[in-house]
């Protein structure tokens, strides 16, 4: 494709802007998602951010992941937030989590994209001895994290990932969690002061009821000293998350590829067994009525019956029969006829669709990227390109926002956002 000089200039300007965002949000070894709203290191944000740094500073890209794994707990758990420095601009901070770790961390995890990111980093580089060393040093840590998922996040042995907090899914207020969280007892939550709504329009953020539930679930974890076995078996929120499950399945495939590059043959069988277990168990998430993969509440056994952006991660995970894939492509066709820009976080035909409210409608570049990668891998190149071009247009027309309204293209959440800048540099731009 040839660009006109003006669009070339525009791309260069946006490239420079994206790099400047990453540099501004760099706190020395780790990058904050957005300096005002999210002043700490977030788990899956850092993984995506590494891909952005790879565009202009490969050393810094590896450092981002290495710093994240410095906060890994002894049992392999990798926290969703690392509180390297105090900052009163975010709630709930380290003292609310009270996880007794150094550095201070939260007590929940996030979607495990690190293995896949390390593979992309390796594949996109010169395969130098230094990068091989760094990959080799990270590999056992990632394996340990995946083992933690296998041991502590699959209490029913289905090969699926059980999320114990909506924040863990990275899709905090997805309507998928409304029903599973409705049983959470919020009577002891007490009063607290949110910080997010002093930075951002409350209409774009989760509600007070959502936050009461988030905090009640944190209290449960804290009361159980962050014993992840107890939490996954008896906690007030337990959902087989379609997003985390698909992401872990792909991450295990990528981990196996890393093991092969590194010649860690003793690990092959274990990783292959994890892949096979999830592949065999995934159909439990398929909902015949809506014809899509949907998350499922473990407490009631109920499927969310909601088509979200995560439903399309089955391509990324490399699962789905031909018939299932056809149904999902038909959903993409239908959804794209209802809104202007893909990929909304919720089906616009669903009654809970809310175009500006966080994970209830807006497009998020990182999930769109993962879905596009999967579509490309599965031979759906036209769809993959459509998702890329839509994401590029949203950024070009609006800026590097946290997320975007799929109807108007307006930005929602924080601006000058690290992972959106990273996705521009690595993929969309």
Residues contributing to the site for ligand 9WN (CB under 6 A): 33, 38, 42, 44-45, 80, 167, 170, 172, 196
User: CA distances (Å), 390 to each of 255, 294, 342, 415, in order?
Assistant: 30, 24, 6, 18
Complex with ligand 9WN: residue 167 or 286, whichever CB lies closer: 167
Cβ–Cβ under 8 Å, residues 88 and 94: no
> Catalytic one among 176, 241, 254, 402?
402
Q: Name the minimum Å distance from CB 45 to ligand 9WN.
A: 5
Nearer to ligand 9WN, 149 or 417 (CB): 417
Query: What minimum distance in Å lies between the beta carbon of 87 and ligand 9WN?
Result: 13
Q: Which of 173, 303 has the CB closer to ligand 9WN?
A: 173
| Nearest distance, CB of residue 92 and ligand 9WN, angstroms | 9
Task: Identify whether 172 is a catalytic site residue.
Answer: yes
402 annotated active-site: yes
Q: Which candidate, 368, 395, 398, places its Cα nearest to that of 383?
A: 368
CA 252 → CA 2, 36, 87, 117, 194, distances in Å?
A: 38, 34, 35, 12, 37
The least distance separating ligand 9WN from the CB of residue 9, rounded to whole angstroms, comes to 30
Nearer to ligand 9WN, 43 or 252 (CB): 43
Give the nearest distance from C-beta 38 to ligand 9WN in angstroms: 5
Contact between residue 364 and residue 309 where contact means Cβ atoms under 8 Å apart: yes
Could you give the CA distance from residue 51 to residue 126 in angstroms, rounded to a whole number? 15
Taken as a whole, the chain contains a residue count of 429
Residue 43 in tokens? 């788990």
Q: Is the peptide bond before 29 cis (omega within 30 degrees of 0)?
A: no
Distance (Å, rounded) from C-alpha 118 to C-alpha 65? Answer: 8
The active-site residue out of 154, 168, 172, 347 is 172
Q: Among 141, 136, 133, 138, which residue's Cα sits nearest to residue 74?
A: 141
Closer residue to ligand 9WN in complex, CB, 336/402:
402
CA distances from 11 to 52, 362, 376, 429 (A): 15, 24, 23, 7
Task: Name the residues annotated as catalytic.
Answer: 172, 402
């Amino acid at each position: 494709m040839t660009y006109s000089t003006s669009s070339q200039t525009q791309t260069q300007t946006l490239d420079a802007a994206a790099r400047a965002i990453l540099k501004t949000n760099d706190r020395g070894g780790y990058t904050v998602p957005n300096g005002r709203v999210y002043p700490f290191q977030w788990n899956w944000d850092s993984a995506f951010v590494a891909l952005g740094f790879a565009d202009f500073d490969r050393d810094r890209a590896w450092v981002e992941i290495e710093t994240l794994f410095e906060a890994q707990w002894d049992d392999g758990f990798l926290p969703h937030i690392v509180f390297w420095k105090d900052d009163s601009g975010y709630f709930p901070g380290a003292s609310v989590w009270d996880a007794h770790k150094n550095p201070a961390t939260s007590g929940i995890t996030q979607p495990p994209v690190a293995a896949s990111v390390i593979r992309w980093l390796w594949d996109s580089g010169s395969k130098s001895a230094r990068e091989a060393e760094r990959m080799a040093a990270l590999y056992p840590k990632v394996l340990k994290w995946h083992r933690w998922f296998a041991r502590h996040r699959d209490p029913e042995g289905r090969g699926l990932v059980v999320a114990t907090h909506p924040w863990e899914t990275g899709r905090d207020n997805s309507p998928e969690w409304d029903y599973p969280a409705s049983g959470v007892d919020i009577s002891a939550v007490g009063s607290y002061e949110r910080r997010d709504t002093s930075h951002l329009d409350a209409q774009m953020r989760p509600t007070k009821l959502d936050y009461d539930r988030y905090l009640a679930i944190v209290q449960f974890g804290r009361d159980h000293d962050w014993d992840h076995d107890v939490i996954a078996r008896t906690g007030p929120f337990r959902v087989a998350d379609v997003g985390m499950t698909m992401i872990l399945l792909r991450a295990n495939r990528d981990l196996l590829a890393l093991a092969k590059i590194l010649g860690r043959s003793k690990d092959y069988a274990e990783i292959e067994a994890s892949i096979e277990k999830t592949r065999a168990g995934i159909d439990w998430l398929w909902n015949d009525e809506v014809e899509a993969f949907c998350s499922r509440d473990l407490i009631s056994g109920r499927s969310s019956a909601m088509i979200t952006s995560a439903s399309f991660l089955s391509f990324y995970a490399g699962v789905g029969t031909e018939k299932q894939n056809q149904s999902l492509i038909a959903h993409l066709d239908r959804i794209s006829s209802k809104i202007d820009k893909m990929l909304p976080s919720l089906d616009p035909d669903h009654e809970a669709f809310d175009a500006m409210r966080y994970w209830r409608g807006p497009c998020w570049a990182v999930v769109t990227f993962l879905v596009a990668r999967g579509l490309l891998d599965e031979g759906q190149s036209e769809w993959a390109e459509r998702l890329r071009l839509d994401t590029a247009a949203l950024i070009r027309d609006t800026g590097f926002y946290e997320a975007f309204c799929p109807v108007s293209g307006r930005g929602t959440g924080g601006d000058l956002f690290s992972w959106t800048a990273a996705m521009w540099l690595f993929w969309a731009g």
